[in-house]
Structure 1
């Protein structure tokens, strides 16, 4: 799949932009605060229905305007799609695909698949469990739309259970709590199984990529850290185990007003040569681990849906050493890649690769080189 055309009207600092992209490599060069990341953000929104930079849609609209628009033409192996999002201050955004209006953001998931890598992705390795759960949930949702539905359902049940824990006035408290526990364990077990399957597949691919990126010096491993022991359990057994943990922990949950067991407490351990990258890895090692995971994600999506996703690289290409850049360049021949950079990338490294090079200044985009 590839993005053929992107149209932006009053989106961030773009008042009226309409550009054709190359099927393979696209490079956008410009100083900071000129709109490079805004461009990548617009593509990401068309894939996920929301931004990765803000939870408030009104912030996507140009400050001087009341409405904004994103239009993206997507070409896939068997069909093409026009994805459109319209934004208006204090009004719910509207989503259309091929002029048909979608009522829910979840309907958009899976039409366009993207993988984004930016300097902020270091948080995936070095920050807390929430970052890694968000990574797992976002990526699994792209290839398994039902997972996103189950995740939303789980979070709703969890919120209701937590609210119920804080209010014990109901005379039928424990019987009603048992209802929440049954629902939570049913949906939670399906989330856990999907995460286990995803991590097992991702671990194999990322290990191979990391080995190549580091010249065989480092070995990357992934380990799922659930909130309770699930070793070799099937989904029905995990469901029973989770409900058992919830019921054994009821009094503590009541005291805290929170649910201590379930996939909302899980983590992913990223290991380099058997040692935690979060605790002991250097910044360079953490960056390489994050890059390995993102590139593994690209391959995993291809394996799952039969097509490569669009790869978005936000200001990271120039930070990589020659070996890592060469590895990235080797992927450009297979997938559409969109790179932003504050510096002119050494185009001699990209000789022979089909590409377009654009220059951005204050929301204006000029095609400088093609070939």
Structure 2
């Protein structure tokens, strides 16, 4: 799979951009602030309908414009399709395939697959649990697009339930007459348990599949490390004791029942605080490192790992994602967004060696010399609002 042509209209800094691309390695070279990251961000957005840089769509639309357009010609197994999305901040986006409208924009997700490496990936290991949950869910949706609906249903249910908990909590304290809110809480409990069990089951299975891949990748990019040094464990907000989850496979009906039981146990706490305290939104992906001695417990990467170890673990997570997607049968498009400036010469060479065989690798760099020789390919100069192919 690769992108053969990219068209942007009013996306970020570009009023208009048309870039012909090829399989293999392509590097966009230019000083910071010239728009090279905007190009690869657009391709990644087409894959996930979200940006790796910002939380909302508004910054993606050029100042003064009402909407932005991203269109790409994507080649897969020798066949080409035109994918496009119109970005309307605050409204529903519109998506098309070969000029035909899709019923929902999210149906575009997964038609093109990307794995992006960026300096912000350090937040995966050093940041809040929400970033690690998003990492899992984005990968889930990329592999199984129908889970975008499950994820959206869960988030919608969670918002409704939290609102009801606030109302019911106030009713219980006598500050409002809306006591009927309590009687409808059970309905939202059932919705939360059903969608939450689906999401939780998929995350558990994904972590089990990622674990050995992360170990192998970490041993490759971290000096002197072995595949046993890294740890990847899923920590749910409720006990799974007594449930069979060998290999990450858990019965969804059992998970639904367990979630309902825990919701009942935590009911008073939730009413007091006005928020949902049980469910996948409270879970954590625990990343740990060892020192080669199995008798010594691993320590959490967050708070204990050095900068180099943290960066190696972040790279390992992305490489494992790439390997998993590739095992599904499609080579995802690899995007290396300004990562080589963060690495020393040896690690640059190691990373380039690992990804050079991908069907398409898109690289951004401020300095041409930062791009390893292994990824020498087509190069574009980005500056002054123009994207110019170098001869």
Which TM-score band applies after superposition, normalised by the shorter structure? Answer: over 0.9
Distance 1:149 1:91 in 2: 18
Task: Provide the C-alpha distance between the structure 1 equivalents of 2:370 and 2:284, rounded to a whole number of angstroms.
Answer: 39
Q: 1:345 to 1:90 in 2, by over 3 A?
A: same
Assess if the C-alpha contact under 8 Å between 1:22 and 1:355 holds in 2: no
What residue ranges of structure 2 are gaps of 5+ in the alignment?
169-176, 291-297
| 1:55/1:221 CA distance change after superposition, 3 Å | closer
* Per-residue deviation, residues 90-140 of structure 1 (Å, max 9, x unmatched): 764322111111232210111011111111110010011111111111111
Deviation per CA, 1:247-283: give whole Å up to 9, x if none: 0111111010011111110010111112111010011
Q: Which residue of 1 aligns with 2:63?
A: 63
CA distance in 2: counterparts of 1:217 and 1:49, whole angstroms? 36
Contact 1:213 1:323 in 2 (8 A): no
> 2 CA distance for matches of 1:275 and 1:114?
31
Q: Is the 8 A contact 1:24 1:354 kept in 2?
A: no
Instruction: From the superposition, tell whether residues 179 and 280 of structure 1 become closer, same or farther in structure 2 (CA, over 3 Å).
Output: same
Q: TM-score if structure 1 supplies the norm length?
A: 0.92
1:283 pairs with 2:307: yes
Give 1:4-153 correspondences, 5 Å limit.
Answer: 4-77=4-77, 79-87=79-87, 92-153=92-153
Find the aligned partners of 1:90 and 1:166 in 2 and give their Cα distance. 26
Residue from 199, 203, 212 that aligns with 1:204 = 212
After superposition, residues 1-371 of structure 1 pair within 5 angstroms as: 1-77=1-77, 79-87=79-87, 92-168=92-168, 169-218=177-226, 219-231=229-241, 232-233=244-245, 234-235=250-251, 236-273=253-290, 274-304=298-328, 306-330=329-353, 331-345=355-369, 349-350=372-373, 355-369=377-391
Report the CA distance shift for 1:278/1:13 in structure 2 as closer, same or farther (over 3 A). Answer: same
Q: Please tell me whether the aligned partners of residues 318 and 345 of structure 1 are also in contact (alpha carbons under 8 angstroms).
A: no
| Stretch of structure 1 that moved more, 5-14 or 109-118 | 5-14
* Preserved CA contact (<8 Å) 1:207 1:220: yes
Contiguous gaps of at least 5 residues in structure 1:
none
Q: Distance in 2 between matches of 1:208 and 1:288?
A: 12
Distance apart, 1:362 and its partner CA: 2.2
Structure 2 CA distance for partners of 1:282 and 1:94, relative to 1, 3 Å: same
> Alpha carbons of 1:354 and 1:74: their partners in 2 closer, same or farther (altered >3 Å)?
farther
Q: Secondary structure at the match of 1:187?
A: helix
Give the structure 1 partner of residue 171 of structure 2: none
Cα deviation per residue 1:207-237 (whole Å; 9 max; x = unaligned)?
Answer: 0011111244252110101101225353222
Cα RMSD (Å): 2.0
Please say if residues 27 and 378 of structure 2, whose CA atoms lie closer than 8 Å, have aligned partners that are also in contact: yes
**What secondary structure does 1:149 align onto?**
helix
**Structure-1 separation of matches of 2:159 and 2:64:** 38
Compared with structure 1, are the counterparts of its residues 154 and 64 closer, same or farther at alpha carbon in structure 2 (3 Å cutoff)?
closer
CA offset digits 1:190-218 (Å, max 9, x no partner):
11110011111111111001111124425
Please say which of residues 180-189 and 211-220 is displaced more in the overlay. 211-220
Secondary structure at the aligned position of 1:284 is classed as: helix
1:41-90 CA-to-partner distances (Å, cap 9, x unmatched) read 11112112233333443432322444532211100116321112234677
* More divergent stretch after superposition (41-50 vs 91-100): 91-100
Q: Is the 2:4–2:73 contact (alpha carbons within 8 Å) kept by the matching residues of 1? A: yes
TM-score (norm 2): 0.88
Cα distance in 1, alignment partners of residues 74 and 131 from structure 2: 29
2: distance between equivalents of 1:180 and 1:89? Answer: 29
- In structure 1, how many angstroms separate the alpha carbons of the residues matched to 2:143 and 2:311? 25
